[in-house]
Amino acid sequence: MFNLEFALRVIILLASLVLISLFYRFLGKKVTHFFELREANFIINFLSIILGVITLFVFFFVYVYYGFGYQPDIYRTGHRGTNKVAFTFDDGPSEEFTLPILDILEENNVPATFFMVGSHVEKFPEVARKVAKQGHAIGNHTQNHRNLPTLSTIDLHKELVEATAIITETTGVYPSFMRPPRGMYDGRSRRLAKLLGQEIVLWSISTRDWRYGVTANYITRFVDTKVQGGDIILFHDSGALLRSEGGDRTATVQALPDVINIIRSKGLEIVALEELLHNAPAEAFPQIDRPE
Protein backbone atom coordinates (compact mmCIF):
# COMPACT_ATOMS: atom_id res chain seq x y z
CA MET A 1 0.00 0.00 0.00
CA PHE A 2 1.33 3.43 -0.93
CA ASN A 3 2.13 5.49 2.16
CA LEU A 4 1.89 9.19 1.32
CA GLU A 5 3.30 10.35 4.67
CA PHE A 6 6.35 8.14 4.33
CA ALA A 7 6.89 9.22 0.71
CA LEU A 8 6.81 12.86 1.78
CA ARG A 9 9.40 12.19 4.46
CA VAL A 10 11.73 10.59 1.91
CA ILE A 11 11.25 13.51 -0.48
CA ILE A 12 12.00 16.00 2.31
CA LEU A 13 15.15 14.08 3.21
CA LEU A 14 16.39 14.03 -0.38
CA ALA A 15 15.56 17.70 -0.83
CA SER A 16 17.49 18.50 2.34
CA LEU A 17 20.56 16.71 0.99
CA VAL A 18 20.35 18.69 -2.26
CA LEU A 19 19.97 22.00 -0.41
CA ILE A 20 22.90 21.19 1.85
CA SER A 21 25.03 20.44 -1.22
CA LEU A 22 24.04 23.73 -2.88
CA PHE A 23 24.61 25.63 0.34
CA TYR A 24 28.05 24.08 0.69
CA ARG A 25 29.07 25.24 -2.82
CA PHE A 26 27.67 28.73 -2.26
CA LEU A 27 29.34 28.99 1.13
CA GLY A 28 32.67 27.86 -0.28
CA LYS A 29 32.72 30.69 -2.79
CA LYS A 30 31.76 33.31 -0.20
CA VAL A 31 34.24 32.15 2.40
CA THR A 32 37.08 31.96 -0.13
CA HIS A 33 36.30 35.50 -1.19
CA PHE A 34 36.63 36.96 2.33
CA PHE A 35 39.42 34.83 3.82
CA GLU A 36 42.83 33.51 2.91
CA LEU A 37 42.78 30.09 1.27
CA ARG A 38 44.00 28.24 4.39
CA GLU A 39 41.40 29.89 6.63
CA ALA A 40 38.70 29.32 4.05
CA ASN A 41 39.49 25.62 3.81
CA PHE A 42 39.40 25.25 7.59
CA ILE A 43 36.01 26.98 7.89
CA ILE A 44 34.53 25.03 4.99
CA ASN A 45 35.77 21.70 6.35
CA PHE A 46 34.44 22.51 9.82
CA LEU A 47 31.01 23.48 8.50
CA SER A 48 30.88 20.45 6.21
CA ILE A 49 31.48 18.17 9.20
CA ILE A 50 28.66 19.85 11.13
CA LEU A 51 26.28 19.60 8.17
CA GLY A 52 27.33 16.00 7.60
CA VAL A 53 26.56 15.05 11.18
CA ILE A 54 23.15 16.74 10.98
CA THR A 55 22.38 14.97 7.71
CA LEU A 56 23.39 11.58 9.08
CA PHE A 57 21.27 12.16 12.19
CA VAL A 58 18.21 13.04 10.12
CA PHE A 59 18.74 10.04 7.85
CA PHE A 60 19.33 7.73 10.81
CA PHE A 61 16.14 8.91 12.51
CA VAL A 62 14.03 8.47 9.37
CA TYR A 63 15.50 5.06 8.62
CA VAL A 64 15.49 3.66 12.16
CA TYR A 65 12.07 4.90 13.26
CA TYR A 66 10.15 4.72 9.98
CA GLY A 67 12.25 2.15 8.16
CA PHE A 68 11.94 1.29 4.50
CA GLY A 69 9.87 -1.30 2.72
CA TYR A 70 7.17 -3.66 3.90
CA GLN A 71 7.19 -4.11 7.68
CA PRO A 72 4.38 -6.47 8.70
CA ASP A 73 6.06 -7.13 12.06
CA ILE A 74 5.86 -3.51 13.23
CA TYR A 75 2.61 -1.88 14.31
CA ARG A 76 2.32 1.90 14.32
CA THR A 77 -1.46 2.08 14.26
CA GLY A 78 -4.53 -0.11 14.39
CA HIS A 79 -7.11 -0.45 11.65
CA ARG A 80 -8.29 3.00 10.58
CA GLY A 81 -11.71 1.64 9.72
CA THR A 82 -12.62 1.17 13.38
CA ASN A 83 -13.81 3.59 16.06
CA LYS A 84 -11.34 2.12 18.55
CA VAL A 85 -8.13 3.45 20.08
CA ALA A 86 -5.64 2.04 22.58
CA PHE A 87 -3.74 3.59 25.48
CA THR A 88 -0.09 2.69 26.10
CA PHE A 89 2.24 3.82 28.90
CA ASP A 90 6.05 3.68 28.67
CA ASP A 91 9.01 3.61 31.06
CA GLY A 92 7.31 2.43 34.24
CA PRO A 93 6.44 1.19 36.64
CA SER A 94 6.81 3.87 39.31
CA GLU A 95 5.08 4.36 42.64
CA GLU A 96 4.60 8.07 42.12
CA PHE A 97 2.82 8.01 38.77
CA THR A 98 1.78 4.45 37.84
CA LEU A 99 -0.40 4.02 40.93
CA PRO A 100 -2.60 7.12 40.38
CA ILE A 101 -2.82 6.25 36.68
CA LEU A 102 -4.08 2.79 37.60
CA ASP A 103 -6.72 4.34 39.85
CA ILE A 104 -7.96 6.59 37.03
CA LEU A 105 -8.06 3.70 34.54
CA GLU A 106 -9.98 1.52 36.99
CA GLU A 107 -12.45 4.29 37.82
CA ASN A 108 -13.18 4.84 34.13
CA ASN A 109 -13.05 1.15 33.13
CA VAL A 110 -10.24 1.76 30.63
CA PRO A 111 -7.76 -0.97 29.60
CA ALA A 112 -4.18 -0.09 28.77
CA THR A 113 -0.82 -1.60 27.91
CA PHE A 114 2.18 -0.81 30.10
CA PHE A 115 5.56 -1.14 28.40
CA MET A 116 7.78 -1.79 31.41
CA VAL A 117 11.51 -1.31 31.92
CA GLY A 118 12.97 -4.40 33.60
CA SER A 119 15.09 -2.49 36.10
CA HIS A 120 12.01 -0.51 37.18
CA VAL A 121 10.07 -3.74 37.66
CA GLU A 122 12.85 -4.90 39.98
CA LYS A 123 12.62 -1.60 41.86
CA PHE A 124 8.81 -1.53 42.13
CA PRO A 125 7.64 -5.17 41.92
CA GLU A 126 4.38 -4.54 43.79
CA VAL A 127 3.38 -1.82 41.35
CA ALA A 128 4.14 -4.12 38.41
CA ARG A 129 2.04 -6.86 39.99
CA LYS A 130 -0.84 -4.43 40.51
CA VAL A 131 -0.80 -3.57 36.79
CA ALA A 132 -1.17 -7.25 35.99
CA LYS A 133 -3.77 -7.84 38.71
CA GLN A 134 -6.01 -5.12 37.25
CA GLY A 135 -5.93 -6.93 33.91
CA HIS A 136 -3.81 -4.53 31.88
CA ALA A 137 -1.47 -5.86 29.20
CA ILE A 138 2.28 -5.69 29.78
CA GLY A 139 4.95 -5.08 27.17
CA ASN A 140 8.74 -5.33 27.07
CA HIS A 141 10.51 -1.95 27.06
CA THR A 142 14.01 -3.40 27.59
CA GLN A 143 15.97 -3.86 30.78
CA ASN A 144 17.66 -0.45 31.06
CA HIS A 145 15.99 1.73 28.40
CA ARG A 146 19.01 1.78 26.08
CA ASN A 147 18.98 2.61 22.36
CA LEU A 148 18.94 -0.81 20.70
CA PRO A 149 20.61 0.00 17.35
CA THR A 150 23.75 1.28 19.11
CA LEU A 151 24.28 -1.85 21.23
CA SER A 152 26.42 -4.87 20.58
CA THR A 153 24.47 -8.01 19.75
CA ILE A 154 25.22 -9.44 23.19
CA ASP A 155 24.00 -6.32 25.00
CA LEU A 156 20.93 -6.13 22.79
CA HIS A 157 20.03 -9.70 23.73
CA LYS A 158 20.52 -8.89 27.40
CA GLU A 159 18.23 -5.87 27.16
CA LEU A 160 15.32 -7.82 25.67
CA VAL A 161 15.76 -11.26 27.22
CA GLU A 162 16.50 -10.09 30.78
CA ALA A 163 13.53 -7.72 30.75
CA THR A 164 11.29 -10.51 29.49
CA ALA A 165 12.44 -12.84 32.26
CA ILE A 166 12.09 -10.27 35.05
CA ILE A 167 8.65 -9.06 33.91
CA THR A 168 7.36 -12.63 33.61
CA GLU A 169 8.79 -13.77 36.93
CA THR A 170 7.51 -10.70 38.80
CA THR A 171 4.04 -10.32 37.33
CA GLY A 172 3.25 -13.82 36.13
CA VAL A 173 2.48 -12.34 32.71
CA TYR A 174 4.61 -12.99 29.65
CA PRO A 175 4.99 -9.73 27.66
CA SER A 176 3.45 -10.32 24.24
CA PHE A 177 4.47 -6.89 22.93
CA MET A 178 7.80 -5.10 22.65
CA ARG A 179 8.42 -1.38 22.22
CA PRO A 180 12.02 -0.28 21.67
CA PRO A 181 13.08 2.82 23.62
CA ARG A 182 12.44 6.02 21.65
CA GLY A 183 11.00 3.86 18.86
CA MET A 184 14.46 3.02 17.55
CA TYR A 185 14.96 -0.50 16.22
CA ASP A 186 17.09 -2.44 13.77
CA GLY A 187 16.99 -5.79 12.02
CA ARG A 188 18.54 -7.61 14.98
CA SER A 189 15.92 -6.38 17.44
CA ARG A 190 13.15 -7.25 14.99
CA ARG A 191 14.43 -10.80 14.61
CA LEU A 192 14.90 -11.25 18.36
CA ALA A 193 11.43 -9.92 19.14
CA LYS A 194 10.00 -12.45 16.72
CA LEU A 195 11.96 -15.26 18.40
CA LEU A 196 10.60 -14.12 21.77
CA GLY A 197 7.07 -14.08 20.42
CA GLN A 198 6.71 -10.34 21.01
CA GLU A 199 5.09 -8.03 18.47
CA ILE A 200 6.80 -4.67 17.98
CA VAL A 201 4.32 -1.86 18.67
CA LEU A 202 5.15 1.82 18.20
CA TRP A 203 2.49 4.56 18.22
CA SER A 204 0.52 6.94 16.02
CA ILE A 205 0.01 9.71 18.61
CA SER A 206 2.58 10.78 21.18
CA THR A 207 1.07 13.00 23.85
CA ARG A 208 4.53 14.58 24.20
CA ASP A 209 4.20 14.31 27.95
CA TRP A 210 7.96 13.72 28.13
CA ARG A 211 8.64 17.38 27.31
CA TYR A 212 9.96 19.61 30.06
CA GLY A 213 7.26 21.96 31.35
CA VAL A 214 4.40 20.25 29.50
CA THR A 215 0.97 20.94 31.02
CA ALA A 216 -2.18 18.85 31.35
CA ASN A 217 -4.03 21.39 29.20
CA TYR A 218 -1.51 20.97 26.40
CA ILE A 219 -1.88 17.17 26.47
CA THR A 220 -5.68 17.27 26.36
CA ARG A 221 -5.78 19.86 23.56
CA PHE A 222 -3.19 17.95 21.54
CA VAL A 223 -5.09 14.67 21.77
CA ASP A 224 -8.37 16.46 21.02
CA THR A 225 -7.00 17.77 17.70
CA LYS A 226 -5.24 14.56 16.62
CA VAL A 227 -7.14 11.48 17.78
CA GLN A 228 -9.01 9.27 15.32
CA GLY A 229 -10.04 5.65 15.04
CA GLY A 230 -7.16 3.19 15.04
CA ASP A 231 -4.76 5.36 17.04
CA ILE A 232 -2.20 3.91 19.43
CA ILE A 233 -1.69 6.67 21.98
CA LEU A 234 1.60 7.03 23.85
CA PHE A 235 1.81 8.26 27.44
CA HIS A 236 4.59 7.88 30.02
CA ASP A 237 4.26 6.78 33.64
CA SER A 238 7.98 7.22 34.37
CA GLY A 239 11.20 7.98 32.48
CA ALA A 240 12.96 11.24 31.70
CA LEU A 241 14.24 13.04 28.63
CA LEU A 242 17.82 11.75 28.92
CA ARG A 243 17.54 9.21 31.75
CA SER A 244 15.41 6.13 32.36
CA GLU A 245 13.51 7.72 35.28
CA GLY A 246 13.18 10.90 37.30
CA GLY A 247 10.91 12.87 34.98
CA ASP A 248 7.76 14.57 36.24
CA ARG A 249 4.61 12.89 34.89
CA THR A 250 2.17 14.95 36.94
CA ALA A 251 0.70 16.48 33.78
CA THR A 252 -0.06 13.00 32.44
CA VAL A 253 -1.94 12.05 35.60
CA GLN A 254 -3.86 15.32 35.60
CA ALA A 255 -4.76 15.13 31.91
CA LEU A 256 -5.82 11.49 31.78
CA PRO A 257 -9.46 11.86 32.97
CA ASP A 258 -10.09 14.69 30.49
CA VAL A 259 -8.41 12.75 27.67
CA ILE A 260 -10.68 9.79 28.36
CA ASN A 261 -13.78 12.01 28.29
CA ILE A 262 -12.67 13.78 25.10
CA ILE A 263 -12.06 10.51 23.26
CA ARG A 264 -15.40 9.07 24.31
CA SER A 265 -17.22 12.29 23.39
CA LYS A 266 -15.97 11.76 19.82
CA GLY A 267 -17.68 8.38 19.69
CA LEU A 268 -14.41 6.50 20.03
CA GLU A 269 -13.94 3.44 22.23
CA ILE A 270 -10.80 2.80 24.28
CA VAL A 271 -9.93 -0.88 23.98
CA ALA A 272 -7.07 -3.22 24.79
CA LEU A 273 -4.14 -3.13 22.38
CA GLU A 274 -4.71 -6.75 21.43
CA GLU A 275 -8.28 -5.96 20.38
CA LEU A 276 -7.24 -2.92 18.39
CA LEU A 277 -4.55 -4.80 16.46
CA HIS A 278 -6.18 -8.20 15.92
CA ASN A 279 -9.92 -8.05 16.42
CA ALA A 280 -11.08 -5.41 13.97
CA PRO A 281 -14.69 -5.87 12.82
CA ALA A 282 -15.42 -6.99 9.27
CA GLU A 283 -16.53 -3.49 8.28
CA ALA A 284 -12.95 -2.28 8.89
CA PHE A 285 -12.02 -4.07 5.68
CA PRO A 286 -14.14 -2.77 2.81
CA GLN A 287 -14.96 -5.30 0.14
CA ILE A 288 -13.22 -4.89 -3.19
CA ASP A 289 -15.32 -5.34 -6.32
CA ARG A 290 -13.64 -7.92 -8.51
CA PRO A 291 -14.45 -8.62 -12.15
CA GLU A 292 -16.28 -11.89 -12.69
DSSP for residue 154:
H
pLDDT of residue 59: 53
Helix or strand (DSSP H, E) at 81: none
Examine the pLDDT at 243 and tell me if it is beyond 70: no
Residues 6+ apart with CB under 8 A from 284: 79, 80, 81, 82
The answer to whether residues 210 and 234 touch, using CB atoms and an 8 Å cutoff, is no
Q: Is 136 a catalytic residue?
A: no
The answer to whether residues 127 and 146 touch, using CB atoms and an 8 Å cutoff, is no
Q: What is the spatial distance between Cα 126 and Cα 149, in angstroms, rounded to a whole number?
A: 31
The answer to whether residues 235 and 90 touch, using CB atoms and an 8 Å cutoff, is yes
pLDDT digits (tens, 9 = 90+) for 66-124: 554 457 889 999 999 999 999 999 999 999 999 999 999 999 999 999 999 999 999 99
* Given the residues 136, 141, 145, 236, the one annotated as active site: 236
* Given the residues 90, 91, 231, 237, the one annotated as active site: 90
Examine the pLDDT at 265 and tell me if it is beyond 70: yes
Burial grade of 193 (CB within 10 A; 0-12, 13-18, 19 or more): buried
Q: Which comes out higher in pLDDT, residue 15 or 167? A: 167
- pTM, full prediction: 0.77
Residues 6+ apart with CB under 8 A from 204: 76, 77, 230, 231, 232, 233
Please, what is the average pLDDT of the chain? 83
pLDDT of residue 242: 60
Q: Is 79 a catalytic residue?
A: no
**Residue 178 main-chain phi, psi, to 5 deg:** -135, 135
Q: What is the spatial distance between Cα 237 and Cα 239, in angstroms, rounded to a whole number?
A: 7
The answer to whether residues 269 and 109 touch, using CB atoms and an 8 Å cutoff, is no
Q: Which comes out higher in pLDDT, residue 276 or 62? A: 276
pLDDT of residue 106: 98
Q: Which comes out higher in pLDDT, residue 233 or 58? A: 233
